[in-house]
Amino acid sequence: MPFATQALAPQRSMVKSLQQIPRELFIDQRTQVVNTLRGHLAEYGIVAPQGASHIRKLEVMIADSEASDLPLATRNMCIRMFDHLSILDWQVDDLTARIEATAQHDDTARRLMTIPGIGPICAMTISTLAPPRESFRKGRDFAAWTGLTPKQHSTGGKTRLGRTSKMGQRDIRRLLILGATSVIQAAERKGGAPDGSWLDRMLKRKPKLLVAIALANKMARMAWAVMKNEDVYRVQLAA
């Protein structure tokens, strides 16, 4: 690699990470604001169903001064928090759009997005934060680094598997599990996974959360193979 290209590589990686870090920070702040609003308003009997899509119902409730018994000071505080929530929503949406646009021009991210369950955010996170592919001998090593492989406890010639190690980069592990969960939900909306497939067999025998972690493990191995071979993911056809 020429010297100029070597000098630019860390700068490109830094630019990518500077988009990822504030987004995660804004999401955490948004969660804190939502939980604070729910907690304060619940004390006055003002509640809404769980889920981010229902939080704005609380804003409508406190805006109705006649229907609400909120003290004026509490209502003003909630209005300020809803204004701050709108700013955080805009920040998250803007950074998400920027990351998605960057992913379309990143060769590694485009290849990773061919894997079912890996979208622009997850692809850019792996492309930016994962160590060089040469750091791992095989896909299982990369999956172990992400913390998606169970710990082994061997004694007396017997190997027992424990909980996942949760090592490695927390954001990559979390996004892979979210992506695996979305794959399972998409399969359920279609009436279930294809008969006889690995996902179908797992869902019939194991809890969904465990299946999601196992699928995230497979996705991590696929991601390593895609990065190592510099190729796209191809669906294996049944014989």
pLDDT in tens, 192-233: 888 888 888 998 888 998 899 999 999 999 999 999 988 888
This prediction has a pTM of 0.75
Nearest to 68 by CA among 38, 47, 39, 37: 47
Return the higher-pLDDT residue of 199 and 11.
199
Return the higher-pLDDT residue of 58 and 159.
58
**49 Cβ neighbours under 8 A, 6+ residues apart:** 57
Domain ranges of the chain: 3-104, 110-229
Whole-number Cα distances in Å, 238 to 195, 196, 197, 198, 235: 11, 10, 9, 11, 9
- Residue 30 has a pLDDT of 94
Return the higher-pLDDT residue of 80 and 194.
80
Pick from 59-63, 113-117, 138-142, 205-209: least confident: 59-63
- Residue 238 has a pLDDT of 45
Q: What is the mean pLDDT of residues 158-173?
A: 65
pLDDT band for 44, please (50, 70, 90 cuts): confident
